[in-house]
Amino acid sequence: MCHAYIPEGGTKDDLSPMVNVGAGAASGVAYWTAFYPADTIKSQIQTNPEFQSESVLATGRKIYERQGMRGLYSGWGITALRAAPAHGAIFLCYEKVAQYLRGMGGGAEQ
């Protein structure tokens, strides 16, 4: 996402902080969207006595049979709302520290 916003002939250092925050927010939401069913299955195995002796696949299959995709994504909305600002802040901090360290190394790109 950041590479799409780099100006012609520019570098990542030319990006505004808001681009970094937006890229981090989008990345965090995308990550949680992709892996949320696995997290739901893990949580059910850990907390629901019905699933504690079941395999990951058996637990996932039972959740899907009973509730469909909605069951595997139950609670995703609040997770995405939390992920966006958290990952945006992390991404911005990472990029600013990387920019600082690149500047200490004589401007060499890493």
Domain that holds residue 52: 17-103
Higher-scoring residue by pLDDT: 12, 23: 23
> Is residue 109 situated within a structural domain?
no
Give the list of residues 6+ apart from residue 7 with CB closer than 8 angstroms, or none: 14
Taking the C-alpha atoms of residue 107 and residue 96, their distance in angstroms, rounded to an integer, is: 14
| Mean pLDDT (the chain, rounded) | 92
The residue type found at 67 is Q
pLDDT level of residue 2 (50, 70, 90 thresholds): confident
pLDDT tens, residue by residue, 20-54: 999 999 999 999 999 999 999 999 999 999 999 99
DSSP string, 59-95: HHHHHHHHHHHHHHTTTHHHHHHHHHHHHHHHHHHHH
Dump pLDDT digits (tens) for 87-101. Answer: 999 999 999 999 899
Residue 92 resides in a domain: yes
In a domain, residue 2? The reply is no
Domain count, the chain: 1
